[in-house]
Amino acid sequence: MENTRKRSVSLLQMKQVCERLSISRSSLYNRIKDGLITPPINIGTTAVRWPDSEIDTLVAAMITGKTKAELQRLVNDLTIQRNNSTPQH
């Protein structure tokens, strides 16, 4: 029987993302601007979060030595997946 249960999504705070990537806040925003990290999700007027699965995927790609271009394609794919899975209200 196929397992159809979806994994629950955990959202990471900026501090947690920076810690996982061992980078500063300004480096995080530079990497977002360069297309090397997915953009955050706005969860309020001043709060943003990242799905832990996206950050885990990016860390794994970095560990395996993906190039800048490969990381940019991965970020693009992750962003498209996120947008396609977001419920429309």
Torsions phi, psi for 41 (to 5 deg): -100, 130
The CATH fold of domain 11-85? Multidrug-efflux Transporter Regulator; Chain: A; Domain 2 (1.10.1660)
Task: Give me the amino acid identity at 26.
Answer: S
Instruction: Give the tens place of pLDDT for each residue, 15-42.
Output: 999 999 999 999 999 999 999 999 999 9
pTM: 0.84
pLDDT above 90 (res 6): no
39 Cβ contact partners less than 8 Å away, ≥ 6 residues apart: 32, 79
C-alpha neighbours within 13 Å on the C-beta side of residue 32: 18
